[in-house]
Amino acid sequence: MKIFPAIDLKNGKCVRLYKGEFSTSQIVAQDPLKTAQNFANKGAEYLHMVDLDGALCGDMKNLENVNKIIKDLNIPIQLGGGVRSLETIEMLLNKGLSRVILGTAAINNPSLVKEAVKKYGDKIAIGIDARDGFVAVEGWQKSSKIEYIDFAKQVESIGIKTIIFTDISRDGTLTGPNFEATGKLNDVVTCDIIASGGMKCIEDIKKLKKMNLYGAIIGKALYSGDISLEEAIIQGRL
């Protein structure tokens, strides 16, 4: 199982939110590049990034920091937040990004997903952020009427190979991921599922590993010291 340390960008800083609420934004690191380098030095094999400002407003706002990290790191990077057009996808991939994550755009503009998958294949992933079982959009501020399982099946049918699943009620809480919802998703689609939201201890990583998930994203627990990145990577490889 792949371990993805997370960097969420807001106003050029690394932050963590509580249950997706922007009013709870807490700076956990001042320098995104140094943070990314630190993760890489500890053995990270992949990096997960989100432009929170972009997710909220629909246009990437932390591109300068993103570019620096892509240029400096020699490990694959996936990024979401504010990606709403094929031009932005192409620009990011041309800069060396390994995988682009579509969220709101996948709900509001399904044809974009189809076109992107046709052109870029498995370099396109879908982020499914769920609140009470329904997909949330616009930086988690709005809930759609689409159930997360139904949406996963839709994107699977058009060729998506990777889904990042987040239970918003767990994100940033250090209370553990939603194992039930994540496991159900992993059972009903053939896509690679990356679990996100609420990781609190190494036992969570061990449990997700036993569930045969493709990957797990760890954010707040790394910054707080509740999970050691090195240990998580070891557990993911066992």
Beta pairing, strands 13-18 & 21-29: antiparallel
150 catalytically annotated: no
Q: Are 51 and 82 spatial neighbours (Cβ–Cβ below 8 Å)?
A: yes
Cβ-proximal residues to 214 (8 Å cutoff; 6+ apart), any chain: 1, 2, 162, 192, 193, 194
First to last CA, the chain: 8
- Closest by alpha carbon to 51, among 35, 34, 32? 32
Catalytic residue among 8, 53, 167, 204: 8
- How many Å apart are CA 29 and CA 170, to the nearest integer? 21
- Let me know: does 79 contact 92? Beta carbons within 8 Å: yes
Which one from 51, 129, 167, 171 is the annotated catalytic residue? 129
The structure tokens listed for 182 are: 């994540």
- Is 8 one of the catalytic residues? yes
Structure tokens at 104: 């709101």
Give the residue numbers marked as catalytic.
8, 129
